[in-house]
Copies of this chain bind each other. A is one copy, B any other.
């Protein structure tokens, strides 16, 4: 046997199988124990290995790539706390159903639980945040074990890609010497099977049973006030069918900003995008009470919408979800339908050909209120001051066709919900709304940029601060990106919550002003920084082509911003009365 043949060919088979199942991107953090995996990835022409030194950012970078490509991204790190830095991204991947294959190198068994350096218990360390955990056997040099390692990759791939998709964890114990033997010519041939022998993983989708679809149609026919809801992470591919269904049924369609229904090519007049504003008012909620709700995706971002649904006790309320997760925080669903968004729409549309349900008055009421609201929201565009809502409106206006707006949590996603309308520019909106953390936002956006999206990132200063380290990815991977940084020196969202009335505690615990000079953060990573002082400057910069890292910083005032929002909402309330 050639020196280090077991390690070389065993890990070679693992790496080769990763590419065989369809993994294209691997995010690698440097470390010693993971040497054979990262070296073999690095010399496999089918895999695109990308370096990210900070494993927390690496996790989110991989998440962004997987979000964008809809294929599993692999992560590789060394043993020890490195692996625990992936935890936030893994939690987000689980809840937002993103396929990740997390590969952690580990000490071999004889060095575990005996105080060896850089060693901790990595077995099952991500708990039930991963769909599958596999502790790999130590490398051995024989065909059976090469095939075993290939099958493990098949298995975790199947798991990560089966609905609900999510992260899987592969722990790989490795002994020194760790450098593969590159004299071996057939590095990637161990355990390789013929095409006929290869284990393909065939993904199938449940379809709506005909009998049930018929019952559903009958029930729907008896209703006058139906509502379709495209929630967060509605399947993008299903959107045209959902709109078709909405039009056939004559239902208004609620468009969450992260459903991407606001950026659909074919504009339907059923699309409702200002509900986050008008559903704040109890009168309006009562006026618009539905007798049937069909939801795709997760609950929308909007709190007023959640409140609206909570007020619909006893109403028929269907939640369509291909996963096995119970995704109804209002506890109001009358049916949980385990089915893909597309299959559900197809099942109904087939039967609806001759059974067009129409409830014209109901639809027109929604459209009318939506338009009246929108007209008032649009007035914010007149603001001379740096109002946060207007930033969103200008983004909609000046971002290029088919670009992507990646939105931070807390205030930015809420402002996008309020101020970003249905548009014809095919602008995609993305964000981390699995667990809604402020962590990893920059890295995730950069992951989407790495997959070819033309990304604009809208974030507040605390979110920017939290993931500043990931700005380095722009430079390392040549990712042009524009960051729109809303700097209100602290946690803006808390001004909207009851905590803000406790003056004694507010600034210290919630406002948390950091008072840092963000310009230096940009320059640290070789980017261009612009302090925006007026709207013309902002528009001019927005209309330039993307190039390297650009940060456009807009300083706003938390209190003024809060009051401006209140003013707009009061005006809408007045108008609708």
Contacts and interface: CB of A to CB of B under 8 A. Distances in A.
Interface of A: 28, 30, 32, 35, 38-39, 42-43, 51, 53-56, 80-82, 84-85, 87-88, 90-92, 94-95, 110-111, 113-121, 124-125, 127-129, 177-179, 182, 298-299, 325-329, 331, 433, 435-437, 439-440, 462, 465-466, 468-469, 472, 475-476, 491, 494, 497-499, 501-502, 504-505, 508-510, 512, 514-518, 520-521, 523-526
Nearest to A115: B327
A435 B118 contact: yes
A115 B325 contact: yes
Given A509-B28, A509-B42, A523-B517, A501 B80 contact: no
Contacts of A114: 326-329, 331
A476 B514 CA distance: 7
A128 B113 CA distance: 12
B53 A505 contact: no
A298 B118 CA distance: 13
A465 B476 contact: no
A91 B126 CA distance: 12
A328 B115 contact: yes
B326 A509 contact: no
A81 B85 contact: no
B509 A520 contact: no
Contacts of A517: 523-524, 526
Residue among A81, A117, A497, A508 facing the most chain B CB atoms (10 A cut-off): A81
Given A53-B462, A329-B111, A435-B120, A85 B87 contact: yes
A95 B468 CA distance: 29
Contacts of A125: 127, 129
A358 to B, nearest CB: 32
B469 A465 contact: yes
A85 B509 contact: no
A515 B474 CA distance: 13
A470 to B, nearest CB: 11
Contacts of A51: 508-509, 512
Contact of A466 (B54, B433, B462): B54
6 contacts: A80-B435, A82-B437, A113-B326, A115-B298, A120-B435, A465-B472
A494 B85 contact: no
Residue among A114, A124, A524 facing the most chain B CB atoms (10 A cut-off): A524
Given A497-B32, A509-B28, A524 B518 contact: yes
Nearest to A57: B466
Instruction: Give me the 9 closest cross-chain CB pairs, A-B, nearest first.
Output: A81-B437, A115-B327, A116-B329, A520-B524, A84-B87, A520-B520, A81-B88, A80-B435, A87-B87
A41 to B, nearest CB: 9
Contact of A119 (B87, B120, B128, B435): B435
A386 to B, nearest CB: 22
